[in-house]
A and B are shown apart, each in its own frame.
Chain A
Amino acid sequence: MSTEVNDKKEKSAAHGKCMMTRRSFLMSSGAATAVSTVGVSLFPGAANAAKSMAEVVGYSRKKIAKLSDLKDNQPFDFNYPDGVRNNQCMIVKMGGAQAGGGVGKQKDIVAFSYLCTHQGGPLQGSYKVAGDQRVMGQCPFHLSTFDLRRHGIIVSGQAYESLPQVLIEIDGDNLYAVGMLGLVFGRSTNLKS
């Protein structure tokens, strides 16, 4: 069902700046910019093998859907962050249910990876409405469920990372994927050098 709307990549300094804004907004606190993977500063003299966090500068800006095409609570599939592997994602307008990182007038449009962050189980077809809650799951492999109103955090289950959330921007009627929060299952980095 995956539909490639527009695979055109737009990389620019302006885009990078825009990304920072988006990321800060998503994490709500403004404290989200500096995340280091290892405590190298604790060990003076040790060589620094840690990669710096490069996620805010390298993601492609990709048109993934049209606002006017989205129907309430019907996920729309796309591929991101690249065309390699482990890139199945969905975007959904959650029928007015506001969400962390949600865009649109009702802040109810979110996008997530389809790969369960436990063991890579396919979450396609598992989007559910439960009252005012919106989840993906149970994963067919080991039954993990994720909360789409709260940045994809685990509701119940096994996964060790939140479901990676795709950062979305609206430009007129166009929806763009511009980055990701969290590592997609199976990857060692979201960004191919």
Chain B
Amino acid sequence: MSTNYYLPEDNAPLPPKHAEVLTTACDYCIVACGYKVYRWPLGSGNGGEKASENAFGIDFPSAPLQDWVAPAQHNVVMHGGVPHNIVITPDKDTTVVNTNGDSSMRGGLIAQKCYNPKTPTRDRLTTPMVRIFGTLQPVPWDFALDIAAAVGNHVIENHGANAYSVKTYSYQYVENTYAITKYARRHINTASFTFHDTPSDVTSTPGFRDAGFDNFGPSYDDWGSAETLLVCGTDPYETKTILFTQHIMPAIQRGQKVIMLNPRETAGVAYAKKHGGLHLQIFPGSDNLVVGAIARVIMENGWEDSEWIEKWVNNNWESSSGFGQGTRNTPWQWRTTWGKFQTKGYEDYKKWVMAQNEYDPVYAAEKAGIAVEDIYKAAEMMAKPVNGRRPKTSIGIEKGFYWSNNTGNTEAIASLATLCGAGGRPGQVVGRFGGHQRGGTSGGGYPRNKSPEKVPGRRRRALDTDRWMVSGHTRFAHVIGTTWIQSMCGSQGLEKTFHELVVANPHQVRDYDKQAIIDTLKKRADSGGMVVINQDIYLRDPIGARFADIVFPAATWGEEDFVRANGERRLRLYSKFYDAPGDSKPDWWIIAQLAKRMGFDGFDWKNSNEVCEESSRFSRGNRKAYHMIKVAAHKEGKTLHEKLRELGTDGIQGPTFYNSETGELSGTKRLHDTTLTQADLEKIGLADGAEGANMVNKKMTHFNSQTGKVNINKHPWNLFSDFWEWLSPKEDELWFSSGRINEIWQSGFDDVERRPYVTQRWPENWVEIHPDDAAKRGIESGDQVMMYSDRVARHKNTILGVKGDDFQFSSLMKNGHIELTKAAVTAVAIVTPGVKKGMMYANMIDMRQPSNALQAAVVDWISGNYNYKMGVARVKKLGESKYKTEFRSMSFAPRNIV
């Protein structure tokens, strides 16, 4: 491909017998399908169509479900400085995850991710750059690193560690995240630290945390062996594709009933409905009401799982009055004032739910915009015993749900799960389906005590890095593998602040001397401005292109050996198979060079395996603990990476254990596994508890709570209802929400602009509008529209909470901490009955027109997360896009056709 136009080709080379074969997993979504990389030198001869002539060992044309090479699965890369063909196809031999070699479109196209200057990847960053005379100019590593370290140290010494803000991805391989967190949290020790998807380093699912559920306890088999599956805030076909096609879809064919709770009907929802499923198509943010009402119907009918509750739910003594250090030391008390969430056990919870008028199914259904019968039907499907036998029910949630009313929704769903007996049994589980893969290993604790942010009740909360920056406290912004701006709420307001602090500051580099450059940037920081450094694989606009003073080019997937886990904690080695472009280096290397220049010790790694081996002990006890892989590897005279490479695409599920008697390395199918027997434990070498470096903790056989049993918690609607009522559409406004779509899910950071095939499908920002709403506004599919609002709420100050409700939205508003700002985003309209009437649904991030610009920049006041799905906007037609009349790209066909 030499252009961004998709021009279908009608042939593709087959890998020859002499091709080398390496394993990896997809770089994108949480599911992490296993892939094989076939590599052979250019000009050494391609494979033939006979089984004896190609690396697959099959005859071509191949049969359905057999290996095939689509033209987009071939690329040419440099390996050891020599051009090589590569073909990357799903691994047909894998027995897990993408069983039999299934693949998503994102992964299917992943060969196109590799740098090849002939393709749209040609703009990969290949050299460090420093902004001199307004232009980012290539410089040697030493030059860029010396400047960054000198200015960084100056900021820490003169303005404190919290003036050095680090905003980083949480997921891009354990080697990198370990190095980054060791640098930022252990050495710089800044409280102004957070990950790509939240303004502050806080838990994504407070309700799971409080109940004692790990986000990723279930195995993929569990989602398949449930008889009723409640899916909240996602369509797992759109996002988590292969989890759906390989685990949920076959289950549906066997009779599994799926209930989907979300505002939009897409392919998976339509498929589930066709097979006896139920779609609760709700308005954004009304989930809590519906979940509470379902819980109420279950308890009114006595359908709750009494046996499970009796055995596994904390009672008054265990949850409230006396156990251990008591409730003071439970996580919910760190987030809010006492009494809002904890109960004295099941009966107390039941009493509370029954007393809440908003959980009356009639009220809940009306607010949510669904039929009240559907609430009763959902309760029946989930919990009503048939012939004396309860259905095996599981619950999976994702961002549409937990980023709508973060605390309220997750507390509610955790309690509903417990009522249904979902938690720690095969087919009866609760968890997140997931977004990015799990590639975080902590190299240092978050210094919470240094955070000036305090919620009522003297509890400190992780610092909100957006508000901290807007308030002018951030003097040095170190941004790693994220856009910061577009991915946060109220993005256009945030961008304005970046501009004021960086570009509009008078101290700009207009010199050729390194020391003079350093001095200028120091002056910028001292004058109240901000210096920005950015590590990434492409130059991002605006964080890199407009704001960064220094840009470091990163090497990524396929360019270094890396380790990461998927949504069932499955660890794999992601093999290096080609040369990183130009001078780009992996993030761990960049961080190490910077750290050494700043005078920090412990950054002398020679390769990524050394980083991984150092990090492994910090994984002990967590859900993807990989330390015992290292123990096993060293026993066998191998490195950690080598041992993991042997495990190929099947990998191993964390936490891992090593049986020193048998020399066997074992993984863990599910967490909170209440069905594990003594014999199971003996087999993995844990007959007498942890032995050697093995670490066994509560979450293996119990839950993550003070007692190991589940907390059944309240989930008050009124913590959120004032915001919801204020936000609800007025006059001709519509709800405005956003989210992901299958074709670019978790891959938009590099495929939507750089795969002609993807670009033709989604060439521009888009928004779905219901036909009735569209007709009223004279909008048709293909029209260019403007979505706009003059009431984008933005919490503008870093404040201290004193009174109990100081952070409640209505109090913030009353006390003048909320400013209402304007925002506007254009898009191409897609008129479809798939989206609920009264709302719009747009792409979650188009870099050019981020939907988040219209979403309220007000965090969930209990947890500190943004509720990204909550917004309102008006919409009007601007004119017609070319897609309305041409027939090449951007389909307007509905996604819910079955």
Residues of A within 8 A of B (CB): 27-29, 31-32, 34-43, 46-51, 53-55, 84-86, 98-102, 115, 117-122, 128, 130, 133-135, 137-138, 141-143, 145, 147, 149-151, 153-162, 164-165, 180-191
A149 CA to B890 CA, complexed, in Å: 11
B66 within 8 A of A: yes
Interface residues of B in 850-868 (CB under 8 A from A): none
Cβ-defined contact, A183 with B11, below 8 A: yes
State which size class the interface on B falls in: 35 or more
Interface residues of B in 66-102 (CB under 8 A from A): 66, 68-76, 82-83, 85, 102
A40 to chain B, nearest CB (A): 7
Mask, B273-298, CB within 8 Å of A = 1, is 00000000000000000000000000
Q: Name, among A36, A117, A189, the residue most crowded by chain B CB atoms within 10 Å (CB to CB).
A: A189
Cβ-defined contact, A182 with B49, below 8 A: no
A13 to chain B, nearest CB (A): 20
B315 to chain A, nearest CB (A): 46
Cβ-defined contact, A149 with B102, below 8 A: no
Some 24 contacts from A to B, beta carbons below 8 A apart, are A34-B2, A35-B9, A37-B12, A42-B76, A42-B116, A42-B117, A55-B11, A101-B887, A102-B887, A118-B105, A119-B64, A119-B102, A120-B64, A120-B66, A130-B893, A134-B893, A147-B893, A154-B891, A155-B895, A158-B104, A162-B8, A187-B60, A187-B61, A189-B12
Cβ-defined contact, B42 with A37, below 8 A: no
Cβ-defined contact, A28 with B888, below 8 A: yes
B241 within 8 A of A: yes
Cβ-defined contact, A156 with B73, below 8 A: no
Contacts of A158 in B (CB 8 A): 102-105, 108, 241, 245, 742
Cβ-defined contact, A159 with B105, below 8 A: yes
Contacts of A32 in B (CB 8 A): 5, 7
B349 within 8 A of A: no
Contacts of B5 in A (CB 8 A): 27, 29, 31-32
Cβ-defined contact, B64 with A122, below 8 A: yes
A185 CA to B61 CA, complexed, in Å: 8
Cβ-defined contact, A85 with B61, below 8 A: yes
Cβ-defined contact, A186 with B10, below 8 A: no
Contacts of A86 in B (CB 8 A): 61
Q: How many A-B pairs with Cβ below 8 Å?
A: 232
| 6 interchain residue pairs of minimum CB distance | A47-B43, A39-B118, A100-B887, A120-B64, A182-B8, A160-B108
Mask, B100-129, CB within 8 Å of A = 1, is 001111001100000011110000000000
Cβ-defined contact, B267 with A151, below 8 A: no
Contacts A182-B9, A188-B69; A49 near B44 (Cβ below 8 A): yes
A145 CA to B85 CA, complexed, in Å: 31
Cβ-defined contact, A191 with B267, below 8 A: no
A159 CA to B66 CA, complexed, in Å: 15
* A153 partner, pick from B1, B45, B68, B761, beta carbons under 8 A: B761
A48 CA to B73 CA, complexed, in Å: 19
A32 CA to B757 CA, complexed, in Å: 14
B509 to chain A, nearest CB (A): 34
Which residue from chain B places its CB closest to the CB of A164 in the assembled complex?
B8
Contacts of A38 in B (CB 8 A): 42, 74-76, 85, 118
Residues of B within 8 A of A (CB): 1-3, 5-14, 42-46, 49, 60-66, 68-76, 82-83, 85, 102-105, 108-109, 116-119, 237-238, 241, 245, 249, 266-268, 271, 741-743, 757, 760-761, 886-895, 897-898
A10 CA to B200 CA, complexed, in Å: 68
* B10 partner, pick from A36, A185, A189, beta carbons under 8 A: A189
Cβ-defined contact, A161 with B72, below 8 A: yes
Cβ-defined contact, B7 with A156, below 8 A: no
* A138 partner, pick from B85, B105, B898, beta carbons under 8 A: B898
Cβ-defined contact, B83 with A181, below 8 A: no
User: What is the interface of chain A mostly: helix, strand, loop, or mixed?
Assistant: loop
B73 to chain A, nearest CB (A): 7
Contacts of A164 in B (CB 8 A): 8, 10
Cβ-defined contact, B13 with A161, below 8 A: no
Cβ-defined contact, B10 with A135, below 8 A: no
B365 to chain A, nearest CB (A): 29
Cβ-defined contact, A150 with B887, below 8 A: yes
Cβ-defined contact, A99 with B887, below 8 A: yes
Contacts of B63 in A (CB 8 A): 120, 186
A101 CA to B887 CA, complexed, in Å: 8
A164 CA to B11 CA, complexed, in Å: 12
A141 CA to B898 CA, complexed, in Å: 13
B266 to chain A, nearest CB (A): 7
Cβ-defined contact, B889 with A121, below 8 A: no
Which residue from chain A places its CB closest to the CB of B892 in the assembled complex?
A133
A54 CA to B6 CA, complexed, in Å: 18
Which residue from chain B places its CB closest to the CB of A27 in the assembled complex?
B7
Cβ-defined contact, B742 with A156, below 8 A: yes
Contacts of B117 in A (CB 8 A): 39, 42
* A155 partner, pick from B74, B887, B897, beta carbons under 8 A: B897
Cβ-defined contact, A49 with B42, below 8 A: yes
Contacts A28-B886, A147-B891; A39 near B116 (Cβ below 8 A): yes
Cβ-defined contact, B891 with A150, below 8 A: yes
Cβ-defined contact, A150 with B888, below 8 A: yes
Which residue from chain A places its CB closest to the CB of B62 in the assembled complex?
A186
A31 CA to B756 CA, complexed, in Å: 14
Contacts of B11 in A (CB 8 A): 37, 51, 53-55, 183, 187-191
* A160 partner, pick from B10, B42, B105, beta carbons under 8 A: B105
A135 CA to B895 CA, complexed, in Å: 10
Contacts of A186 in B (CB 8 A): 60-64, 66, 68
A188 CA to B893 CA, complexed, in Å: 30
A183 CA to B12 CA, complexed, in Å: 8
Cβ-defined contact, B743 with A49, below 8 A: no
Cβ-defined contact, A42 with B757, below 8 A: no
Which residue from chain A places its CB closest to the CB of B246 in the assembled complex?
A142
Contacts of A184 in B (CB 8 A): 61
Contacts of A36 in B (CB 8 A): 2
Cβ-defined contact, B9 with A185, below 8 A: no
Known: A143-B237, A156-B266, A186-B68. 11 other contacts (CB 8 A): A35-B1, A35-B9, A39-B118, A51-B13, A53-B9, A130-B897, A142-B249, A151-B8, A160-B105, A161-B72, A186-B66
Which residue from chain B places its CB closest to the CB of A97 in the assembled complex?
B887
Cβ-defined contact, B70 with A133, below 8 A: no
A183 CA to B45 CA, complexed, in Å: 21
Contacts of A182 in B (CB 8 A): 8-10
A160 CA to B756 CA, complexed, in Å: 11
Q: Name, among B11, B12, B70, B889, the residue most crowded by chain A CB atoms within 10 Å (CB to CB).
A: B11
Contacts of A153 in B (CB 8 A): 6, 760-761, 889, 891
* A46 partner, pick from B43, B108, B271, B893, beta carbons under 8 A: B43
Cβ-defined contact, A100 with B888, below 8 A: yes
* B105 partner, pick from A115, A121, A157, beta carbons under 8 A: A157
A85 CA to B66 CA, complexed, in Å: 14
Cβ-defined contact, B7 with A35, below 8 A: yes
Cβ-defined contact, A120 with B895, below 8 A: no
A187 CA to B2 CA, complexed, in Å: 23
A112 to chain B, nearest CB (A): 12
B35 to chain A, nearest CB (A): 13
Which residue from chain A places its CB closest to the CB of B102 in the assembled complex?
A142
Cβ-defined contact, A141 with B271, below 8 A: no
Contacts A39-B76, A39-B116; A188 near B7 (Cβ below 8 A): no
Contacts of A50 in B (CB 8 A): 13
A34 CA to B73 CA, complexed, in Å: 20
Cβ-defined contact, A138 with B2, below 8 A: no
A44 to chain B, nearest CB (A): 10
Contacts A133-B893, A145-B267, A145-B893; A183 near B10 (Cβ below 8 A): yes
* A142 partner, pick from B49, B118, B245, beta carbons under 8 A: B245
Which residue from chain A places its CB closest to the CB of B241 in the assembled complex?
A158
Which residue from chain B places its CB closest to the CB of A122 in the assembled complex?
B64
Cβ-defined contact, B102 with A49, below 8 A: no
Cβ-defined contact, A84 with B8, below 8 A: no
Cβ-defined contact, A120 with B70, below 8 A: no
Which residue from chain A places its CB closest to the CB of B46 in the assembled complex?
A49
A46 CA to B1 CA, complexed, in Å: 19
